[in-house]
Amino acid sequence: MNLKPLLICITLTGISLFSSFVSAKDYAIEVILFANKDGLQRSAEQINFNHIIPVPNDGLDLDSASNNSQWQAIPKEDYILNNVAEKLKRSNNYRILKHFAWRQPAVEKQDSQAISIKAGRDFTNKYPEHGYRQVEFGDTADNRSRNSKVLELDGTINIVITRYIHLYSDLVYRLPRTIPSNIGDALNRGQALVDYSVKSHRRMRSRDLHYIDHPLVGILIEATPIKEGN
Kindly report, residue by residue over 111-125, the tens digit of the pLDDT. Answer: 999 999 999 999 999
Name the phi and psi angles at 9, rounded to 5.
Answer: -60, -45
The confidence score (pLDDT) of residue 128 equals 81
Q: Given pLDDT bands bounded at 50, 70 and 90, which one contains residue 11?
A: very low
Q: Given pLDDT bands bounded at 50, 70 and 90, which one contains residue 72?
A: very high
- Residue 36: give the domain boundaries: 4-10+25-43+52-222
Q: Tell me whether residue 230 is in a domain.
A: no
Q: Tell me whether residue 17 is in a domain.
A: no
Let me know: does 185 contact 55? Beta carbons within 8 Å. no
Q: What is the mean pLDDT of residues 47-51?
A: 48
Q: Tell me whether residue 201 is in a domain.
A: yes
Q: Tell me whether residue 19 is in a domain.
A: no
Q: Tell me whether residue 229 is in a domain.
A: no
- C-alpha dihedral (200, 205, 207, 212), degrees to nearest 10: -20
Beta strand spans in 8-148 (E):
26-36, 72-73, 94-105, 115-122
What's the CA gap between 187 and 40, in Å, rounded?
24
Instruction: Report the DSSP beta bridge partners of residue 167.
Output: 159, 202
The confidence score (pLDDT) of residue 146 equals 45
Q: Tell me whether residue 108 is in a domain.
A: yes
Q: What is the mean pLDDT of the chain?
A: 81
What's the CA gap between 214 and 43, in Å, rounded?
9
Residue-level length of the chain: 230
Q: Tell me whether residue 117 is in a domain.
A: yes
Q: How many domains does the chain have?
A: 1
Q: Tell me whether residue 227 is in a domain.
A: no
Burial 17-41 (b: 16+ CB within 10 A, else e): ebeebeebebbbbbbbbbbbeebbe
The confidence score (pLDDT) of residue 192 equals 82
Nearest to 33 by CA among 206, 200, 230, 150: 200
